[in-house]
Amino acid sequence: MKRPILIHPDPRLKKVCVAVPDLSDDLRVLADDMLETMYAAPGIGLAAPQIGILQRLIVLDCVKEEDGEPRPLVMFNPEIISASDETNVYEEGCLSIPDQYAEVTRPKVVEVEWMDRDGNAQRETFGGLWATCVQHEIDHLNGKLFIDYLKPLKRQMITRKMQKLKRERARA
C-alpha cells in the first residue's frame, strides 16, 4: 500500500528516530509499503519518518539504468561504520521537499551495517549515488534534511516555498 509522504516543514521530520528492537511481520509490511511508495514517487530512497513513522528504517534502490535489474534494499537500524576522507558533491533532491535541488558535499565512500528484512546483519561498502543516497536517508533518521547543509538564507527560501506549497495543497 502506498503511503502519503510528509512535506517539510513538519515536526516529525526533525525527530531522532528510535531503533527497531525486533523484526515483525508488521515491520516487513511497512518496508514493502515504503518500497512501493518510493518507486511510485518516483524516488531512489525513502526513510520511515517521511511517512510519519519514527523508527530507524530506510529503503533504497539507486539502479539508474531503465533496463537495469532493480536492487531494492531494506535497512533496519542502518549505521555508518566508516566514511572516506575523500568527498563527493551531488545535486540532491528530497521527496519531502519536492522540486528543490541543491549541491551537498558528503564522504564519497561509506561502509554501512544494517539488519535486513530476515533479521540478518549485513555490511557493505557503497560508492557513487548509493553512498550519497544512504547518507541522505540515514540523515532523515536523525532529523536532518539536505537543506540543513545549505546557507541559512537558501534554506529559509526553500522552507517558505514549501509552506506555500502546503497551503495550496490544503486548499485544493
Q: Applying CB under 5 A, which residues contact Zn ion?
A: 94
Residue 44 in contact with ligand K1U, rule: CB under 6 A? yes
Residue 78 in contact with ligand K1U, rule: CB under 6 A? no
**Of 6-14, 43-51, 71-79, 110-118: span binding ligand K1U (CB under 6 A):** 43-51
Nearer to ligand K1U among residue 72 and residue 93 (C-beta) = 93
**Of 8-16, 28-36, 129-137, 155-163: span binding ligand K1U (CB under 6 A):** 129-137
User: Please, are residues 3 and 156 in contact by the beta-carbon 8 Å criterion?
Assistant: no
Nearer to Zn ion among residue 77 and residue 135 (C-beta) = 135
Residue 133 in contact with ligand K1U, rule: CB under 6 A? yes
Distant-in-sequence, close-in-space partners of 113: CB < 8 Å, separation ≥ 6: 78, 79, 81, 121, 122, 123
User: Taken in order 24, 26, 30, 36, is the CA torsion positive or negative?
Assistant: positive
| Chain centre distance of CA 6 | 12
